[in-house]
Structure 1
Amino acid sequence: MLTPKFAAGGRPWAAIVLFVAAGAAVLGSFLLQGSIAELGIGFTTSTAPGALLTGLGMLGCAASMYSQPTTRVLAGWLGGALALVALPAANFGGFVVGTLLGMLGAAASLAWTDSPRSERPERPERSELPERHPKPERRDRHPQAARQEMCTGPRRADES
């Protein structure tokens, strides 16, 4: 059953919808070239394998994110790569629409997180952050004495 919690936070829906639309645009640019008689001729063109592989690959990325949301990073990278490959390989990536939708889907899948905003830790203020590189103490002694102190420890007043 599709509950509001399941629909809102359980899956990267924006990425899934964008990848389905991108895959449909790339496949549609190839499959909707004409009637069934022309389809046999269309399969022999050089864009046929590219359009089929990239379009089905983006649909596969959407199916992967739907069935297992933890694969969103891998599916996002792979879908983004397929969207870029579709640009030269499949009729300008489904007339550029498929490439743009695929890149937006990749960005949405990589940006998605399953935890609600209220449960995420807040970022500390800049004044609360520790210094990255604390400044070293200034030593007014000779460098050899400082090096010796590093090896043997500081001198006590009664040892001098």
Structure 2
Amino acid sequence: MSPESTGQNEHYLRVFWRGFRTWRGNRPFWAGLFTMVGGLPIAYFPYANMHLGNVTLAMSTTAGAGSLIIGILLITLGLTMWFHHIVRVFAGVAAILLALISIPVANIGGFVIGFVLSLLGGALSIAWAPGEPKAAAADAGVQGEAFKDAGAGMQEPQPEFQGVASVPQQPEQYDTTAEVDGGRHRAE
């Protein structure tokens, strides 16, 4: 092993955790997790049997199939938030609607646990926005300072591209006063 090689001595768990953090940061992770965890009690409780000593309580209702469908759809929406974050707004709205429908259909929304978690996951999915890359954010900050320093009569700074020849701007061949003052011409 040469001293120039880096990263080969890192533990595989540290490499996995770093990759997971990167993956998690690029999508509405917590929204998907809350939505999936909220779908579990909604789908489970109508089919569960509680044993209290010698007494068995069956919580099944006539809407057991509806509860199962709502729970599976919430789990699917949570996975959609993770793996297709482009449709996060649709998935968030659908999760909120399914959570609201689960109140009358699925034992008060999975005894309120599933309802609250699904509602929270849907809201987080709608509110989540992808972050800007660090290089783009730094460029935007530099460009913002350039606009702040520009005078009122000066043109906005044009971005310079490396390797591309800039095209000189042609003087305007027409009068733009009609556009500037709303169509009224000034006599000068």
What's the TM-score, normalizing by structure 2? 0.56
For the residue of structure 2 that corresponds to 1:85, the secondary structure is: helix
| Bigger relative contact order (CA 8 A; separation at least 6) | 1
For the residue of structure 1 that corresponds to 2:125, the secondary structure is: helix
**How many Å apart are 1:24 and its aligned residue?**
0.7
Alpha-carbon distance in 1 for matches of 2:185, 2:87: 55
**How many Å apart are 1:34 and its aligned residue?**
4.8
CA shift in 2, pair 1:117/1:94, >3 Å: farther
Could you tell me which runs of 5 or more consecutive residues in structure 1 were left unpaired when the two chains were aligned: 129-152
The reply to whether residue 47 of structure 1 matches residue 28 of structure 2 is no
Q: Specify the alignment match of 2:46 in structure 1.
A: 30
Identity of aligned residues (%): 27
**How many Å apart are 1:117 and its aligned residue?**
8.9
Q: Specify the alignment match of 1:133 in structure 2.
A: none
Q: Specify the alignment match of 2:23 in structure 1.
A: 6
What's the TM-score, normalizing by structure 1? 0.64
Could you tell me which runs of 5 or more consecutive residues in structure 2 were left unpaired when the two chains were aligned: 1-15, 149-183
CA RMSD, Structure 1 to Structure 2 (Å): 3.1
Alpha-carbon distance in 2 for matches of 1:117, 1:111: 19
Structure richer in strand, relative to its length: 2
> Contact conserved, 2:44 with 2:68, CA < 8 A, in 1?
no
Alpha-carbon distance in 1 for matches of 2:185, 2:85: 57
How many residue pairs are counted as aligned between the two chains? Answer: 124
Alpha-carbon distance in 2 for matches of 1:31, 1:99: 17
Q: Specify the alignment match of 1:149 in structure 2.
A: none
For the residue of structure 2 that corresponds to 1:84, the secondary structure is: helix
